[in-house]
Amino acid sequence: MNGRMLEKLMILLITYTFVFPIHAQQIVEYEPLDDVLLASDIRTLQNATLKLAPGVYELADQLRFDPDDNLIIEGAGSGFGPNATVLDFLIYSERNEDARALSVRGGVTIRNLTILNAGGRAMDLRTGLIEAPSEEPVIFENVWFINCQTVFKSTGGRTVGAPEAPMVVSHCVAAITKDYPATFGTPQSVINLRDTSYATFDHCDFFNRQELMHLVINDPAAAPNEGPNVVVANSILLGNNGSGGEELTDDLYIDAGKVRIENSVLWDAEAAGALEKTGAGTLEIINSVANDPLYAQVTADSALAALDFNLRNDSPALGLGKDGLNAGSVAARPAEVGSWALY
């Protein structure tokens, strides 16, 4: 190697070391008995992938994420089978009815696990707060949310133009199979967004005995804005609420903002008809159907371990999704859905 070539290599090495530094993603592994360590590491680690082995992690406190920590929480699979990773917040929620299992500020990815018994809120996306703004997305992939009063909650930005982290949800299940009391003024709903919140849901299954969606402006005078913006695609929304409900029990309470639903199945099992929309917000439905999705086993009385979101052979969700894929979380990527086949 001549001196000229060596000089070029040294320049390249210096350039990539100081101009384009490499941030290696640390990998940390956990077992079910490491629940306390897991909660502690989430508060302190940055640029890390936390891999959770199969089993049940009994958590006595919330998992609190600081903004833009760039963390990936990765389980072994969703559902309740032997290969699933289950985060059970029962201890925490029993002593705190306003439990917020996940307190998130942006820059987090959570995938391949089940969040169980999360109490008041499975996750609270607090991105519009002045002291900790974030524009990095919060991503959920192949996550089950089972039994909590509210699943996807976002406080939204307090003013127009406030930093706002989008919520990106794909191949997830949210099933609330029991009724909760109306505590701390929050209705029981799968999607509960305020102000400038923005969220997309793709290939998901949502089931609730009460509301599926609750969109509002928190304080129009203090924070003028058009309200939340939500896109739901290739999904199944199954309510069990009946018709003629009040504000806190409507299927789709869209009092502000815009919602677009496409290539999806929308059904109220109790009313045996289409989901009911109330409120002054905008709802656009494209290439979707109002029919029973015909799940293998999903009812208000289904035992948790018996929930089965696979589709029957005559389901209207078959082929309804984009590019001819099925609507819902299961059939779109069957090889990547953890423990589905283990029921």
More confident residue, 137 or 184: 137
10 within some domain: no
Range from 180-184, 197-201, 325-329 that averages highest in pLDDT: 325-329
How high is the mean pLDDT of the chain?
A: 77
More confident residue, 246 or 33: 33
Whether 156 has a pLDDT exceeding 70, the answer reads: no
119 within some domain: yes
Number of independent structural domains in the chain: 1
Quick: pLDDT tens for 6-30.
454 444 444 444 444 445 679 999 9
Whether 326 has a pLDDT exceeding 90, the answer reads: yes
281 within some domain: yes
Structural domain that includes position 67: 25-342
1 within some domain: no
Whether 163 has a pLDDT exceeding 60, the answer reads: no
pTM for the full predicted model: 0.83
218 within some domain: yes
| Three-state secondary structure string covering the chain | CCHHHHHHHHHHHHHHHHHCCCCCCEEEEECHHHHHHHHHHHHHCCCEEEEECCEEEECCCCEECCCCCCEEEECCCCCCCCCCEEEECHHHHHHCCCCEEEEECCCEEEEEEEEEEEEEEEEEECCCCCCCCCCCCEEEEEEEEEEEEEEEEECCCCCCCCCCCCEEEECCEEEECCCCCCHHHCCCEEEEEECCCEEEEECCEEEECCEEEEEECCCCCCCCCCCCEEEEECCEEEECCCCCCCHHHCCEEECCCEEEEECCEEEECCCCECCCEECCCEEEEECCECCCCCEEECCCCCCHHHCEEEECCCCCCCCCCHHHCCCCCCCCCHHHCCCHHHC
Quick: pLDDT tens for 211-261.
888 887 776 665 566 778 899 999 999 987 654 444 445 788 888 889 999
Report pLDDT for 12. Answer: 41
Q: How does residue 162 score in pLDDT terms, banded at 50, 70 and 90?
A: low
39 within some domain: yes
Report pLDDT for 219. Answer: 65
Which CATH number characterizes residue 263's domain? 2.160.20
6 within some domain: no
Whether 149 has a pLDDT exceeding 90, the answer reads: no
Report pLDDT for 182. Answer: 52
More confident residue, 175 or 265: 265
9 within some domain: no
pLDDT > 70 fraction of the chain, expressed in percent and rounded? 70
Report pLDDT for 79. Answer: 86
Q: How does residue 51 score in pLDDT terms, banded at 50, 70 and 90?
A: very high
